[in-house]
Amino acid sequence: MLLQDTQALYRKNLSATDGPIGHVKDFYFDDVLWVIRYVIVDTGSWLSGRLVLLSPHAFGKLDQTKDALPVNLSKKQIQDSPLISAHETVSRQFEEDYYRSYGWPPYWQGGKMWGYSGTPLVSHPLPGDVAVRKALEPSEDRHLQGTQAVTGYKVQAVDGPIGHVTGFQVDPESWTLHDLAVETGHWHLGASILVSPAVVERVGFVEKTVFLKVTKAQVRGG
């Protein structure tokens, strides 16, 4: 499995079934399950003033070797998707409206990473699908954060700081964040290391810090 680097994906061109739509600006990820839920798209002048989110369902497998990442949607489907402003957060209501509009199975139902599957499905969505509409039930807001925002956060072991986040390694099939790339500074001779999300206690938005539940020695040995 060849992991993908978020740093290499920023500004990657995106192509809908009928033409270019912009480039990758950022990713929203679930900081509890550590999986990318949305690609944030910079559409340039095409849909100026709108924040466009694309679910991994629209891509399937992530492949940064292509000149442009193919999106399995038309420009009209994207334009007609639920609106969200740049200053807004991704709410439960927005996600339910979003998944309903595309006819994709909600990822929060079914017990697996992507609802009833471990990977996002690649299919032509059917807006207004009755089965999908019935499946949408009240659910809690997700814990979503931007990878760009978390890049630069300090990383704190239980016994002290170890460095700061410089990026993420992504599984191209499940879209899970496999590792955090961490620059260690003086603590570990300035080396870059990979830290598994499994050892993360929480991501502190206020503190701008990723808190680990292991010691420095455990990080170094892991």
Per-residue model confidence (pLDDT) at position 141? 59
Could you give the C-alpha distances from 215 to 147, 187, 197, 199, 207, in angstroms and in order?
Answer: 24, 13, 14, 10, 19
Nearest Cα to Cα of residue 73 among 28, 13, 123, 38: 123
As assigned by CATH, the class of the 4-145 domain is: mainly beta
The predicted-structure confidence for 20-69, as pLDDT tens digits, reads as follows 999 999 999 999 899 999 999 999 888 877 779 999 999 978 877 778 99
The more confident residue out of 64 and 166 is 166
The more confident residue out of 138 and 109 is 109
122: phi then psi, degrees, rounded to nearest 5: -110, 110
Which parts of the chain fold into alpha helices (H)? 6-9, 75-79, 92-102, 130-135, 147-150, 216-221
Nearest Cα to Cα of residue 218 among 189, 198, 192: 198
The more confident residue out of 141 and 200 is 200
Q: How far apart are CA 156 and CA 215, in angstroms?
A: 9
The CA-CA-CA angle for residues 83, 47, 72, to 5°, reads 80
The predicted-structure confidence for 77-118, as pLDDT tens digits, reads as follows 999 988 787 667 788 888 999 998 998 888 888 888 898 888
Looking at 2.40.50.140, 2.30.30.240, 2.30.30.90, 3.40.190.170, the CATH number of the domain 147-221 comes to 2.30.30.240
Do you know the residue count of the chain? Answer: 222
Residue 210 confidence class, pLDDT cut points 50, 70, 90: very high
Is the confidence at residue 138, as pLDDT, over 50?
Answer: no
Domain positions in the chain are 4-145, 147-221
> Mean pLDDT, to the nearest integer, of 134-138?
48
Identical fold for domains 4-145 and 147-221, yes or no, is yes
Q: How far apart are CA 116 and CA 215, in angstroms?
A: 36
The predicted-structure confidence for 118-134, as pLDDT tens digits, reads as follows 899 655 444 444 454 45
- Do β-strands 209-212 and 52-54 pair in parallel, antiparallel, or remain unpaired? unpaired
Q: How far apart are CA 1 and CA 172, in angstroms?
A: 8
Is pTM beyond 0.95 here? no
62 in Cβ contact with 172 (< 8 Å): yes
Place of tokens 């979503």: 144
